[in-house]
Structure formats: C-alpha cells, structure tokens
C-alpha cells in the first residue's frame, strides 16, 4: 500500500516528442485512479514512468514520500498488468504466477500457498498446470492479474487490461477488477480509453489530452461539471451534443431556436464574462419528448427523427438540425478519436435520450423539449466551461 505523488512529471522522448507535460497528481493510499484520454495522449507513458520502465525527463515521482525517479522497476515494489498480458509462454500458469515470488527468493511453501490463494480468488485452480497458449482470453487476463497480486505489491498499474476481451467478458471482468481492488485495498492506477470503464471503476478519474491533465475528479463530478469542452465531449456515452450559440440579454440562440436561460446559468455566464459567441452543450438525457413534459422551463423545437433506437428502458432518437455546426480543435479531436464517420453533410447531429413512453417514430417529425437549466456554455476560443462550479 502506498501513496503515489507525481510532482510536475514531464516526459520528452529522445526524438523530441513531448508525451507528458507537467502532470501533478496525488494518489492516496488505497485509491483506484483512472487515467483516461484518446489514443496517444500519454496514458501509457505516464504509467510506464510510475513503473520505472520509462525515464522521467523532469519532475519528481514519490512513493510513500520517497523519491523513486532513479529506482529500477524491481526496486519500486509495484506490479503491472499489461494490455497484452505479457504472460511467459514457456511457463505454466502456476510458474507464471510464482515467478515474482521466486525472484524475491520466497521459500517454496509460501510460494505454493500464495499461488494457490491467488488462483482461488481468480478462479484459476483448474488451470494451474496449463500453458498460457491453451487458455482463453479471459483466463489469460486473470493469470496476468494473478501474477500481479501474488506478491502483495505497494501498487498495481494496469494498462488497458480489458481492451483485448470481447464486450461481454469485459463487463464481467470490470466488476471482478473492481471487487478485487476493494478486497485488497491496494493503490491502483488504471489506464483506459474506454470512458465506461473510467466512469464505473475509479474513485477518481484523470482526463488527459496531449500530455496535459484536463481535469481530475470523481466520475460523477466530471460528468456534471466538466472543466472544458474536451472533458465534456469525452465523458459520457452517448456524448454531449454541441451547438454554436449566441448569448443576448440572457437568451441563448442556437440552431434549436431561442431559449431563455435559467437564472443560475445566466449568473454563472455573467460571472465568467461569457463572450457573445459561444458553444452550448446539452446531454442527451436533458432532451425529452415535448408531450411528456409539462410546465417545466426549457426550449422546444420540432425535428424529424433520423434513427430511433429503443433500448427498452428508454429510447435514443437521432436528429439532424440545420444551420451552423460547432467546430473547435477539441471537438475535431474528439470526433477523430470516436472515429465518427457519419457526420451529416450540413447541420449538426443531435442525440437525445427519451422516455420509453415517447411516441417517436423514425422518419416522422417530433416535438422536443430541452432543459434550460442543464445547458452548459463553453468559450469557443479557450474551450473553458463558462458554467463550471466547484
């Protein structure tokens, strides 16, 4: 168990690439922290620096108050689970899990006891004498976890440990990882670019972009109070809808029409010196079928349903609204990361989550309502959230 502190950690690769820039992070003892961000944002690099597999260019890394920049990985007492599992193919499952203990010169009886205990926890007892090559993906993943937990290290580092599993297994393993971490209470740094994993697993989430920390906070806080456009677009699935807007006398004008902002938002925008031209963000669940809403303040518009996905508990309706689209560097990067190819030729695409009782029909026009108190306003120049409150 350990407290890990990253003090202005910077990584510059020999070819000049700045992968991680001045990351400040305090990871409390026993905390489960998630590093999330699009591909190439420096997640693995950060993790490898904590592990000792990459040198730290600048800054200081402290584990339990001790500077460890110069320590070799084996002297840091940290275990790592790799995305590829990195199991030793010439060793049986038992030998794989025993390997760290053997290196630590633990006596034979203890090795057997610890390996059996870990196998018990991870449900691997039946496979102990098999080679990794003969295991399924999920079993391999568990062996990798087993190898990490046997020697009770100070901390676990996991680099996208579930990304090679199929969707169903991933959900299963996600719960087991979470349970295991709670059970062991070991400080864990977990890298993912899956925002569902980020939302469900961690005590706190760190959103990275281009080597810079965008925001640190609990999953719920990041969802409700994203510090900027990037975090707003990255956290949440389906993602937040963004529309260009103009603010005039407390009324917001977007391609969805004009809406009077709630007092709360108006005050926040004023306090933040909101510019006239800005970007409005509305989460899918803050839309509703207008017929199902009565008397609540908000804007309304009519649009044709492009696609309707009924999930049973609710319905996702997709629309295209004509007019200008919101474009900034952040939004382009998010779109590229999400691999969205079906960008409408003109206008912005809107995703809404409606109640199951909504009468929406694909191809038919629908009256929609959106909550004027849940609109978030962003500065297009800096990307800053103008409605952000601590």
Partner 1 sequence: MSVDIDQVTDNTKPAPPARTTGRVPSGAGKKVKWALIDILVVAYALIPVLWILSLSFKTADGLNDKSFFPKEWTWKNYQDIFKTNEFVSALVNSIGIALISTIIAVVLGTMAAYAVARLDFPGKKALVGVSLLIAMFPQVSLVSPLFNIERNIGLFDTWPGLILPYITFALPLAIYTLSAFFREIPWELEKAAKMDGATPAQAFRKVIAPLAAPGVFTTAILVFIFCWNDFLFAISLTSTTSSRTVPAALSFFTGASQFEAPNGTISAAAVIITIPIILFVLFFQRRIVAGLTSGAVKG
Closer residue to Mg ion in complex, CB, 144/261 = 144
Nearest to 370, CA basis, from 346, 358, 349, 354 = 354
Q: Which of 4, 25, 42, 388 binds ligand ATP (CB under 6 A)?
A: 42
DSSP codes, 237-265: SSPPEEEEEEEETTEEEETTEEEEPPHHH
Distance of CA 161 to the CA centre of its chain: 14
Q: Which stretch binds partner 1 (CB under 8 A): 75-83, 321-329, 335-343, 363-371?
A: 75-83
Place of tokens 């989550």: 353
Smallest separation, CB 44 to Mg ion (Å):
3
Restricted to residues 176-195, the positions that interact with ligand ATP (CB under 6 A) are 193
Closer residue to partner 1 in complex, CB, 140/286 = 140
Nearest to 122, CA basis, from 147, 100, 92 = 147
Residue 333 to residue 212: CA distance in whole angstroms: 14
**What residue 78 binds from partner 1, ligand ATP, Mg ion, none (CB within 5 to 8 A, per partner kind)?**
partner 1
User: To which H or E segment does residue 147 belong?
Assistant: helix 137-149
Question: Residues 120-159 vs partner 1: string with x where CB under 8 A?
Answer: -----------xxxxxxx--x------x---x--------
Place of tokens 């820039």: 21
Residues in a beta bridge with 348:
321
Q: Which of 1, 17, 125, 356 binds ligand ATP (CB under 6 A)?
A: 17
Binding residues with partner 1: total (CB under 8 A): 33
- SS3 for 7? strand
Closer residue to partner 1 in complex, CB, 69/225 = 69
Q: Which of 16, 39, 65, 72 binds partner 1 (CB under 8 A)?
A: 72
Identify whether the C-beta of residue 369 lies closer than 8 Å to the C-beta of residue 257: no
**Does residue 209 bind ligand ATP (CB under 6 A)?**
no
Q: Are strands 204-209 and 32-36 parallel, antiparallel or unpaired?
A: parallel
Q: Which of 6, 19, 79, 366 binds ligand ATP (CB under 6 A)?
A: 19
**Does residue 50 bind ligand ATP (CB under 6 A)?**
no
Identify whether the C-beta of residue 88 lies closer than 8 Å to the C-beta of residue 147: no
Structure token digits, residue 169: 């297994």
**What residue 15 binds from ligand ATP, Mg ion, partner 1, none (CB within 5 to 8 A, per partner kind)?**
ligand ATP
Smallest separation, CB 39 to ligand ATP (Å):
3
**Does residue 100 bind partner 1 (CB under 8 A)?**
yes
Distance of CA 375 to the CA centre of its chain: 22
Smallest separation, CB 45 to ligand ATP (Å):
3
**Does residue 88 bind ligand ATP (CB under 6 A)?**
no
Closer residue to partner 1 in complex, CB, 19/366 = 19
Residue 321 to residue 366: CA distance in whole angstroms: 13
User: To which H or E segment does residue 219 belong?
Assistant: helix 219-224
Q: Which of 31, 34, 44, 231 binds ligand ATP (CB under 6 A)?
A: 44
Sequence-separated (6 or more) residues with CB below 8 Å from residue 38: 193, 209, 234, 333, 334, 336, 337
Closer residue to partner 1 in complex, CB, 115/317 = 115
Restricted to residues 248-267, the positions that interact with ligand ATP (CB under 6 A) are none
Closer residue to Mg ion in complex, CB, 115/208 = 208
Nearest to 329, CA basis, from 282, 255, 381 = 381
Residues at the interface with ligand ATP (CB under 6 A): 13, 15, 17, 19, 37, 39-45, 193
Residues at the interface with partner 1 (CB under 8 A): 51-53, 72-74, 78-80, 82, 84-90, 99-100, 103-104, 131-137, 140, 147, 151, 164-165
């Amino acid at each position: 168990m350990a407290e890990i502190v990253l003090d202005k950690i910077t990584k510059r690769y020999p070819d000049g690439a700045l992968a991680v820039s001045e990351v400040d992070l305090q990871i409390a003892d026993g905390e489960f922290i998630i590093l999330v961000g699009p591909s190439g944002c420096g997640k693995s690099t950060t993790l490898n620096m904590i592990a000792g597999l990459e040198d730290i260019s600048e800054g200081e890394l402290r584990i339990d108050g001790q500077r460890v920049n110069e320590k070799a990985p084996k002297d840091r007492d940290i275990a790592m689970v790799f995305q590829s599992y990195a199991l030793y193919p010439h060793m049986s499952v038992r030998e794989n899990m025993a390997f760290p203990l053997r290196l630590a010169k633990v006596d034979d009886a203890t090795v057997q006891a610890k390996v059996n205990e870990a196998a018990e926890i991870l449900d691997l007892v039946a496979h102990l004498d098999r080679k990794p090559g003969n295991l399924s993906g999920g079993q391999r993943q568990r062996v990798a976890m087993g190898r990490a937990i046997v020697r009770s290290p100070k901390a676990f580092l996991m680099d996208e440990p579930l990304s090679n599993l199929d969707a169903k297994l991933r959900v299963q393993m996600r719960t087991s990882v979470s349970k295991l971490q709670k059970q062991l209470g070991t400080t864990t740094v977990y890298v993912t670019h899956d925002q569902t994993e980020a939302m469900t697993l961690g005590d706190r989430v760190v959103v990275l972009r281009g080597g810079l920390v965008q925001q640190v906070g609990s999953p719920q806080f990041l969802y409700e109070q994203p510090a900027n456009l990037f975090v707003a677009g990255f956290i949440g699935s389906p993602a937040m809808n963004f529309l260009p807007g103009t603010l005039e006398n407390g009324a917001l004008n977007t391609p969805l029409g004009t809406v009077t902002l709630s007092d709360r938002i108006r005050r926040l925008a004023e306090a933040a010196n909101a510019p006239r031209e800005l970007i409005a963000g509305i989460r899918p669940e803050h839309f509703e079928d207008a017929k199902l809403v009565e008397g609540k303040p908000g804007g309304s518009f009519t649009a044709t349903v492009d696609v309707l996905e009924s999930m049973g508990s609710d319905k996702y309706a997709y629309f295209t609204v004509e007019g200008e689209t919101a474009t900034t560097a952040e939004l382009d990067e998010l779109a590229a990361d999400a691999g969205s190819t079906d960008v409408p030729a003109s206008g912005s695409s809107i995703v809404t989550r409606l109640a199951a009782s909504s009468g929406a029909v694909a191809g038919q026009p629908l009256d929609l309502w959106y909550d004027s108190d849940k609109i978030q306003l962003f500065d297009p120049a800096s990307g800053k959230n103008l409605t952000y409150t601590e």
